Structure 1
Amino acid sequence: MDAVTFSAHGDRDVIEYGEYPDPTVGDDEVLVDVKAGALNHLDVWTRGGLPTIDLELPHVPGSDGAGVVEAVGDDVTRFDVGDRVAVTAGVSCGECEFCRDGDPTRCVSYHILGEHVPGVHAEQAAVPEDNLIPVPDGVDWTVAGSTSLVFQTAWRMLVDRADLGPSESILVLGASGGVGHAAVQIADYVGAEVYATGSTEAKLEAARDYGADHVCNYEDANFAEWIRAETGKRGVDVVVDHVGAATWRDSIKSLAKGGRLVTCGGTSGPNPETDIPRIFWNQLQIIGSTMATPGQVDDVMELVWDGTFEPAIREVLPMSETARAHELLEEREGFGKVVVVPDSEL
């Protein structure tokens, strides 16, 4: 089969697409004939070689994907050949205290398909049964293959970790990205007043279309000052910050007293300067969030499948052009998700 791989960490020129060994299906695994997948920023970080990731190379990336079941292992009970499925990338041990308590995202050995172990950007992938969810008939493969990671991440951040309420206000940074545009839709669904940032008028208009009530071009204005002005110096109840070092202090400044900053990553850098006096004086909460529990995945994906939430697709490319897909993410071109499709499916 053909697969996206890299054999060394580095720039986009390390990405290749070509022949790769066919996957071996374990007893608890499902062989998926991949129809579409999507990129996330973690694909860029993994390719670059984060110091916390020690990968066996060559590595197949990809944490989002969907396709048709081609074969099942001897112990698989939930899926049959011909079923439509999508990947949910978080892998847990199923045995530790956190898994037993129903929150595998806190698992002591939690890892992510495509980031820590081989992913699904290939013609075929062997995926643990527990990492697949059914896809209803009629759902387009570009939707099925591009929604799981970002919508589950945003759902857990807002609904579970930040406990966002309908009478509250929220600021979503980077509303044009995968997590950002999912968070805008979820916040609007909850009934919150939604503030969002973007770098172009086209991105801001798209954010409005997805549910933002107020928008700010952060290239033209300091978003913390904008929030204080828009809210009569009060600030917002929740800030979604997955940008990190470049925005952290202004995110803290944007919060009302008792507000919550929730984060799932830091695309601009992991070690920001912070503001400890403002945190304790205003009694702020800094909340981390990673992926979602199986029940949370089911809850949010039902709303994707029925069309309540809709992924923005900025471009669909053949897997042989995955380097271009990385460029779209790194250069922040466009709004929404970048989807890659096996060349044999085009």
Structure 2
Amino acid sequence: MKAAVLKSFSAPLDIQDLPDPAPGTGEVVVDVVAAGVVSYAANVFNGSRNYPLELPIVPGPGGVGRVRATGPDATRLKPGDWVFIDSTIRSRDNVANPEQILLGWTFRTPAALPLHRTYHHGCYAEQVLAPAENVTPIGQIEPADAGRWAALGRLLVPFGGLLAGNLQAGETLVVNGGTGGFGSAGVAVALAMGAGRVVVTGRNQQTLEDLVARFGRRVRTVRVTGDETCDRQSICDAADGPIDMVLDFLPREASAAQVRAAVLSVKLGGRVILMGGLRGEQGYLGLNYNWLMHNETTVRGAWMYGRDAIPRMVQMVRAGLIDLGQFELAEFGLDEANEAVAYAAANARPRQLTVLRPDRGAINR
């Protein structure tokens, strides 16, 4: 099979021929048709993100394709089925506290190395080997639409956070840092789940206005200033009533004060879900013990999503609650993998979806 291989943090992806994978018990081989390229992929590949991974590796955390072959224990999956390939792989020998990796992307702890070395190569290839539980049928689609279905990877992350926070129909949600890719997708998912009002915070005024234009009166926006007290008041004013839940997607560059501005706006018994990227000293939020106790606030971290979220998201798309047409699609053939990485970095708009199509050669755009 042909694959885009990362051999060094100081060199571009190299298109090579690798042996075809073969499935064993509990495994599936999928012919990859579409795989998303995130805007920060270049920073993973040049090492500046400091993601733990062993080289050489075929990157590509997840995608869409068709089953090529299954292990002997498969009972439902069959060759030709259209499937979503979930990147979050969990160890099977410790169900209560499993090790986790992202397929073709990174591992979290040294104990996860056996997983990383077994399911090493991701979806920037013509074929990928994955655990059977990471392959979810999505029903029949047109091959030309596979790139849009790769948006499931964008939508599922905020969906996981909203499920972790138990968002209910009619509730008021704050999406803190809602002008990025995952944050803006979270707005769409929250509205599809029945949120009564979604308050979106961010610095990009044009993106905030675009969200209102797309989703209508249930969306309110707050352009943050960096003044914690002022921003918290603006969030409360935009909500115009009790705030039930905060979904935080603030990036690495944000401050703890920006997180607190949203967290401290929740009502008695409110919930806060943290899915953002704060690191180092900025990750120390400085939340007051007494306030948390008396306000009965639940603060929870959420990483990715549970497996049950995937078929539920597929149902939402099939029902028309989520429109995959909201994304601006740019597709590249596998031979153009480096061009795709550069394009994704230069076009990091919330609705932009950059996709590799291993089923095609160079694509005329």
**Equivalent residue runs for 1:133-282 within 5 Å:** 133-138=136-141, 140-147=145-152, 149-159=153-163, 161-189=164-192, 190-208=194-212, 209-210=214-215, 213-218=219-224, 223-231=231-239, 236-245=243-252, 246-254=254-262, 255-258=265-268, 259-266=270-277, 269=279, 271-272=281-282, 274-278=284-288, 280-282=290-292
> Unaligned stretches of 5+ in structure 1?
99-106
* 3-state SS of paired residue (1:240): strand
How far, CA to CA, are the matches of 2:78 and 2:285 in structure 1? Answer: 53
How far, CA to CA, are the matches of 2:251 and 2:232 in structure 1? Answer: 15
> Unaligned stretches of 5+ in structure 2?
107-119
**Equivalent residue runs for 1:1-346 within 5 Å:** 1-9=1-9, 14-27=11-24, 28-40=26-38, 43=41, 46-49=44-47, 50-51=49-50, 53=52, 55-98=53-96, 107-116=97-106, 117-138=120-141, 140-147=145-152, 149-159=153-163, 161-189=164-192, 190-208=194-212, 209-210=214-215, 213-218=219-224, 223-231=231-239, 236-245=243-252, 246-254=254-262, 255-258=265-268, 259-266=270-277, 269=279, 271-272=281-282, 274-278=284-288, 280-282=290-292, 283=295, 284-311=297-324, 312-318=326-332, 319-327=334-342, 330=345, 333-336=348-351, 337-342=353-358, 343-344=360-361, 346=363
Change (3 A) 1:47 1:235: farther
How far, CA to CA, are the matches of 1:345 and 1:86 in structure 2? Answer: 23
TM value normalised by structure 1: 0.82
1:299-340 deviation digits (Å, cap 9, x = unpaired) = 122112333113443332314444454445545632223222
1:173-195 deviation digits (Å, cap 9, x = unpaired) = 34343322331122213223101
1:183-217 deviation digits (Å, cap 9, x = unpaired) = 11222132231011345454224422146511234
How far, CA to CA, are the matches of 2:72 and 2:137 in structure 1? Answer: 19
1:101-150 deviation digits (Å, cap 9, x = unpaired) = xxxxxx42122212233211112212222111112223620122221x33
* 3-state SS of paired residue (2:282): coil
Change (3 A) 1:203 1:56: same
Task: Answer yes or no: is the 8 Å Cα contact 2:64–2:149 preserved in 1.
Answer: yes
* 3-state SS of paired residue (2:18): coil
How far, CA to CA, are the matches of 1:78 and 1:214 in structure 2? Answer: 44
Task: Answer yes or no: is the 8 Å Cα contact 2:177–2:201 preserved in 1.
Answer: yes
Change (3 A) 1:68 1:215: same
Task: Answer yes or no: is the 8 Å Cα contact 1:317–1:339 preserved in 2.
Answer: yes
* 3-state SS of paired residue (1:36): strand
TM value normalised by structure 2: 0.78
How far, CA to CA, are the matches of 2:300 and 2:46 in structure 1? Answer: 27
Change (3 A) 1:341 1:6: same
How far, CA to CA, are the matches of 2:285 and 2:313 in structure 1? Answer: 34
1:218-247 deviation digits (Å, cap 9, x = unpaired) = 479975453144346x77332222224514
RMSD: 3.1
How far, CA to CA, are the matches of 1:298 and 1:307 in structure 2? Answer: 14
* 3-state SS of paired residue (1:188): helix
How far, CA to CA, are the matches of 1:263 and 1:326 in structure 2? Answer: 27
Task: Answer yes or no: is the 8 Å Cα contact 1:173–1:241 preserved in 2.
Answer: yes
How far, CA to CA, are the matches of 1:62 and 1:235 in structure 2? Answer: 41
- May I ask how many residue pairs the two structures share in their alignment? 330
* Number of the residue aligned with 1:104: none
How far, CA to CA, are the matches of 1:279 and 1:45 in structure 2? Answer: 37
Task: Answer yes or no: is the 8 Å Cα contact 2:178–2:187 preserved in 1.
Answer: yes
Task: Answer yes or no: is the 8 Å Cα contact 1:249–1:273 preserved in 2.
Answer: no
The percent identity for this pair of structures is: 22
